[in-house]
Amino acid sequence: MASMGEPPSLKRLDAPSNRVGDQLTITPLGAGNEVGRSCVYMSYKGKTILFNCGIHPAYSGMAALPYFDEIDPSTIDVLLITHFHLDHAASLPYFLDKTTFKGRVFMTHATKAIYKLLLTDYVKVSKVSVEDMLFDEQDINRSMDKIEVLDFHQTVEVNGIKFWCYTAGHVLGASMFMVDIAGLHQPRHIREKCFTDVIHTTISHGGRVLIPAFALGRAQELLLILDEYWSNHPELHNIPIYYASPLAKKCMAVYKTYILSMNERIRNQFANSNPFKFKHISPLNSIEDFNDVGPSVVMASPSGLQSGLSRQLFDIWCSDKKNACVIPGYVAEGTLAKSIISEPKEVTVMNGLTAPLNMQTSTFLKELMPPNIILVHGESHEMGRLKTKLLAEFAVCNTKIITPKNCQSVEMYFNSEKMAKTIGRLAEKTPEVGETVSGILVKKGFTYQIMAPDDLHIFSQLSTANITQRITIPYSDAFGVVKFRLEQIYECQVINR
C-alpha cells in the first residue's frame, strides 16, 4: 500500500500557495463526482479518519472498491460508517479482513443490525464468480466482531479524536458525525458575524426576523450579541429588537446579579456597565402589545415553534419571502421548527389551514457557517447545480464550495493559538508585566502545561534526573596549541601544571 503522505498518483485540488498553519487534508477515495463507493479520507494533526466504506453498484469485484491503494490503511485511527446502504458500507468486510487496517470502526446500533442482513443478502444474490467475490458470509461474521456501536449524542474518544453523531433521517440509524481533533472549531467571531449578517441583510430588505429560542442560555448569549451589534451600527437604531418570554424576563434579574460567574469578556464589560441592561432590546409580553409596522427582530420562545408567541409570529410572517426565521440551535423531532428546516412549500398554521412557506429559513449549514464545504457522493452535473445554489446562499460569509474528484486531495490550513497553562508552584503568583516565566513545557494530547522541574513527578508521569558526564578527547599534538586556542576563546590564562 502507498503511504498517504506523498503518493505519486494523488492530485491536490485548490492547494494554496501560502501554506501556513495546521494542515487538514480531505481526499475522496470514492464518491468524488460520482454516486457510489462512498469513502472519504481525512487527516489532521497526525490523526486519520475514514468516513464510510462502500462499493460501486455499477461494478463488480475489485473494480467496485474505493481506491484503497492510495492510502496506508494501517495509519487510520477510526473508521465511521454513516448508514447501512451498500454504497456506504459494503466494502467493510473486505477492508477489515484483507488490508492492514488496525484501527477501530463505529456505527449506530440500527446500522450494525441491518448491515449484516443487507450484506448477507448481497453475497447470496451476487452473480459473480468465486474469484471475483470480495468477501463471503464468514468475512461478514468476522467483521461484526470488530464493529463497535454508539448511541446518538454519545461522545467517544479514540487516540485524541473525539466524535459523536446526530440523527440524519434518510434511513433507520443513519447518522451525521461531528469530529473534534484538538478543538477544531470555527472562530467565534466569524460565527457571530454570519449570524448578524443574516439579520442585517433581512432588515435592510424591509423584512422581519424571528428567532425562536429557549428562554434560557442561548437566548441571553444571542441578545448580548445583538445589543452590541446594534450599538455599533447607528443606522439600525430605529429598528426594534424584542425578546418575548415571561421566564426569560424573570431570570434576567438573576443573570444581572451573577456577573462574576461569567467569562472574562462579560466581567470586563461590567466594569463600565451591566451588559445585561440592554440599550436596544425591549421585553415583549404578548402579541397584543406588539406594533408590527415595519422591520424588526423578535426572539421568542418556544424554540420548537409548537405554540406561544414564536408560533403566532411565525404564522403571520411565514408567507412573506422578505422575512427570515433564524433557528439558533438544536430542535427536537416532531416540532414545526424541525420540519421547516427541510423547507417545505407549505406549513399548517395554528388554525388548521395551510399557508405557503416563503420566508427564508436560516439553520443547519447557516448555523454552522462553515468556511469550506466539500461536496461528495453526487453526479458531477447535479453537484455543479448544488454548488451554484450554495455559493449564492453563503455569499455573505465567503464560504468556499469544493467538488473534488476521486483521489483529489483538498488541503486546508488552520491557524490555531497554542495556549499553555502554568500549574503547581509556577501558578502560585501572577507574574508581573514583562516578567519571564521559566519551566518545563509538557504536552499531553493536544494540551500544554508549564511546570517547575520539581513538580514534574506530581503533575505528570515524567521525572527528572541529574547526569554527570566527563568527556575524554585523545590528542597527540603539542599542548601549547590547545592552550593558545583556549586563551583566545575565553580571554583567560591557562596554567599548565
pLDDT of residue 5: 35
Q: Which are the contacts of 265, defined by CB distance < 8 A and separation ≥ 6?
A: none
H or E stretch including 497?
none
pLDDT of residue 99: 95
Neighbours of 166 (CB within 10 A): 12
Summarize pLDDT for 190-219 with one digit per residue, the tens: 667 778 888 998 999 999 999 887 655 567
Question: Which position has the higher pLDDT, 394 or 441?
Answer: 441
What is the C-alpha to C-alpha distance for residues 53 and 87, in angstroms, rounded to an integer? 8
pLDDT of residue 149: 95
Query: What is the number of helices (H) and of strands (E) in the chain?
Result: 14, 24
| Mean pLDDT of all residues in 86-98 | 95
What is the C-alpha to C-alpha distance for residues 453 and 272, in angstroms, rounded to an integer? 42
Short-list 19, 1, 13, 77, CA closest to 43: 77
pLDDT of residue 245: 65
Q: Going from the N-terminus, what domains does the chain have, and what CATH number goes with each?
A: 11-186+373-414 (3.60.15.10), 188-365 (3.40.50.10890), 418-497 (no CATH)
Summarize pLDDT for 292-331 with one digit per residue, the tens: 889 999 988 887 888 888 899 999 998 888 998 888 766 6
The answer to whether the beta carbons of residues 126 and 60 sit under 8 Å apart is yes
What is the C-alpha to C-alpha distance for residues 144 and 266, in angstroms, rounded to an integer? 51
Question: How far lies 383's CA from each of 42, 366, 368, in Å?
Answer: 21, 19, 21
Short-list 293, 213, 271, 202, CA closest to 247: 213
pLDDT of residue 4: 34
Taking 60 as the threshold, does the pLDDT of residue 6 lie above it?
no
Summarize pLDDT for 51-70 with one digit per residue, the tens: 999 999 888 889 999 999 99
Taking 60 as the threshold, does the pLDDT of residue 186 lie above it?
no
According to DSSP, the residues that pair with 96 across neighbouring strands are none
What are the start-end ranges of the H helices in 453-497? 456-459, 479-490
pLDDT of residue 144: 96
Question: How far lies 241's CA from each of 211, 292, 314, 328, 358, in Å?
Answer: 11, 12, 16, 16, 22
pLDDT of residue 154: 87
What are the start-end ranges of the H helices in 425-478? 456-459
pTM (global) more than 0.85: no
Question: Which position has the higher pLDDT, 21 or 221?
Answer: 221
Question: Which position has the higher pLDDT, 95 or 172?
Answer: 95
pLDDT of residue 221: 77
The answer to whether the beta carbons of residues 204 and 196 sit under 8 Å apart is no
Lowest mean pLDDT among 83-97, 371-385, 461-475, 483-497: 483-497
The answer to whether the beta carbons of residues 401 and 391 sit under 8 Å apart is yes
Tell me the pLDDT band of 253, cut-offs 50, 70 and 90: low
What is the C-alpha to C-alpha distance for residues 361 and 341, in angstroms, rounded to an integer? 7
Q: Which three cell numbers stand for residue 113?
A: 443490525
Summarize pLDDT for 110-157 with one digit per residue, the tens: 999 999 999 999 888 887 777 778 999 999 999 999 999 999 888 899
Q: First and final CA of the chain: distance in angstroms?
A: 66
Percent of the chain at pLDDT above 70? 82
Average pLDDT of the chain?
82
Backbone angles phi, psi at 34, to 5 degrees: -155, 160
What is the C-alpha to C-alpha distance for residues 64 and 98, in angstroms, rounded to an integer? 15
Q: What is the CA radius of gyration of the chain?
A: 30
Sign of the dihedral defined by the CA atoms of residues 372, 376, 380, 385, in that order? negative
Summarize pLDDT for 402-426 with one digit per residue, the tens: 999 999 999 988 776 678 888 888 8
Taking 70 as the threshold, does the pLDDT of residue 162 lie above it?
yes
Q: Which amino acid is at 461?
A: Q
Tell me the pLDDT band of 3, cut-offs 50, 70 and 90: very low
Q: Name, of 17-21, 349-353, 368-372, the range with top average pLDDT.
A: 349-353
pLDDT of residue 465: 82
